[in-house]
A and B are shown apart, each in its own frame.
Chain A
Amino acid sequence: MRRNSKFIRLLVTLGLVVGIASCNSSDKKETSTQSAEEQEQAQKEQIVKDVKKVMYSLPSPVETTLLLKKAGAGYDEALLNPTSNANKYNTDKQKALNLGVYGADLSYASIFEQDQTIMQYMNVSKKLAIGLDLLAAIDQSIIDRLEANHDNRDSVIRIISETFLNSNSTLKEDNRPEMAALILAGGWVEALYLATQLTKDVKKDKELVERIVEQKLSFNELTMLLGEYAETNPDIADVASKLEGISQIFNEIEIEKSGIQTITDEESGSTVLKATQKINITQAQYDALKTASANLRNSFIQ
C-alpha cells in the first residue's frame, strides 16, 4: 500500500513536471551579474528572470483589419491570396503559414462584410486546418453558424475569432506550439501586406501609415515568439531569417513616445492611458517597407 502510494506520488510529480515543461517554453535563463551603475536595470532584469513564464501575444488579424478600416482603408479583393493556391500547399510549414494568410484575408473580408468571400475563405481555411490535423478548429458547426449569421458582422467576427482560438489552443494542447507560431506569423505578414498595398503616400494617408508603422511594436512580439523555437525548428528559423529585411526597415523608422499617464473614471471603472507619439518616416522608408512586406508575403503564398 505504502509502495503504491509512493508510486502515485511519483507519477503526479512527474506529470506536474511535464505540465510545467509544456507550458514553459520560454523559461528565463540565468543572466550575468550587472554592474553597480546599472543597478536599476539589473533589478528589472531580475524581476523578469524570476518570472516563471513569458508569453507573447500578437494582434488578431480581425483587430488589425478593423483598425485599418477605421483609418480609412478600402476593400480590394484582388489583394487576397487566391483560394486556388491552397492545392499547392503540401508541407506543414506551407499549410500553417497559409492558414494564417487565409485567416487574415478572411478577417479583412469580414470587416468589409463580403459574404461570399467569407464563406470561400472559411472553407479553404477548413481544408488547410484538416491538413494540419486541426479537425476541431473549423468543424461543420462553425461553417453552419457562419452561413446562418452571414448578415451579422458582429457574429461573423466572433465566429472567426473562435476559430483562431480553437486553432492555437489545440496546437498548444497537442504540444505543437511551433505550428501555432507559424500560423500567427502568416497572419501577421498578410495583415501587413494588405495594409501596405492599400496605402501609397505617407503624407496623404497619414493615419493609415501610422497604423502600419505601429506594427513595429507587434513585430517585436513576433520575433520574440519565433525566437523561442528558431533554434530547434528549421521551419521557424527560415521564417525568422526572412523577417530580417523588415526588421532593418523598422529599425530605421522612429517612433517617439511620451510617458503614460493613467486616468480612471471611478464610476465606470474604465481607464484611459494618455500618451503622445510622433512617427518619423520618409516616403523612401515606407516604399521599402511596402516592397519588403510584398516580397515576404509572396514567398509564403507561392
Chain B
Amino acid sequence: MKNVSKLLVLVVSFVLLGTLSYGQCRTFAKTECKPSLEPYVHDGIFNATELSEGESAELYKTFYSNQNYRIAICGDKQLPKIKFSIMDADRNVLFTNAKHSYKRVWDFKMESSQQLIISIEVETNDENISDEIARGCVAVLVGFSAD
C-alpha cells in the first residue's frame, strides 16, 4: 500500500512539475520578453522552451519583404548568456549577437521574402563552480511594424 501511495505521489509530481515548468515559461515570455518588442506588434505566436547550459534550439520562420521586424530573445535570470544567430535557409550566418555584446533584440528589414532560421544557444557558465547545471526558459518573440 505504501509503495502504491509513493508511486501515486511520484506520478502526480511528475506531471505537475512538467506542467508548472511550461506555465512558468509562458508567464516569463509574456511578462519579461514581450515588452522588449515595443514599439513593434508581437505576431501572437508563442515560441518558448526550457533549455539548460550548452543546449540549443532553432526557430524556422518566414519574414516578408519591405516589412520591419524585431526579434527579441530572453532567458531566465539563472541562465548564462544566450547566443542567437540568424541564418538563411542554407545556414549561412547573417547575424550573431555574440559579435554585438550578446544584445537581446535585433531590428531588421528584408528586401525579399525569405525563410530564416533563428538559432539560440545557452552558453556554458565557466564561472560557476558548483556542479548544478543552470536551466530555464528561453523565449524567442517576433514583432513587426504595423505602419
B72 contacts the other chain (CB 8 A): no
Minimum CB distance partner of A255 in chain B: B113
- B96 nearest CB across to chain A (Å): 11
Q: Please name all residues of chain A whose beta carbon is closer than 8 Å to the beta carbon of B95 when the two chains form the complex.
A: 262, 271
Q: A15-B17, A52-B55, A56-B60 are in contact. Are A157 and B41 (CB under 8 A)?
A: yes
CB pair B62 A277 closer than 8 Å = no
CB pair B107 A269 closer than 8 Å = yes
> Count the A-B residue pairs with Cβ separation under 8 angstroms: how many?
207
Determine the main DSSP class of A at the interface with B: helix
A221 contacts the other chain (CB 8 A): yes
Interface residues on A, range: 35 or more
CB pair A63 B144 closer than 8 Å = yes
Minimum CB distance partner of A219 in chain B: B62
Q: Please name all residues of chain A whose beta carbon is closer than 8 Å to the beta carbon of B22 when the two chains form the complex.
A: 19, 22-23, 172-173, 175
CB pair A59 B19 closer than 8 Å = no
Going nearest first, the 10 A-B pairs with the smallest beta carbon separation are A15-B17, A18-B18, A164-B44, A169-B46, A19-B21, A60-B43, A277-B112, A161-B44, A57-B61, A217-B62
What is the interface of chain B, defined by CB distance below 8 A to chain A? 10, 13-23, 25-26, 29-30, 34, 41-51, 55-62, 64-68, 88, 91-92, 94-95, 106-115, 119, 135, 140, 142, 144, 146
Known pairs A15-B21, A154-B146 / 5 extra A-B pairs, C-beta < 8 Å: A56-B59, A60-B144, A270-B109, A272-B110, A273-B109
Q: List 25 A-B contacts (CB under 8 A).
A: A14-B17, A15-B21, A19-B18, A24-B49, A50-B56, A52-B49, A53-B57, A55-B140, A56-B59, A57-B59, A59-B64, A63-B43, A66-B144, A66-B146, A70-B66, A161-B44, A169-B46, A172-B22, A175-B22, A218-B115, A220-B62, A221-B115, A260-B94, A262-B95, A271-B107
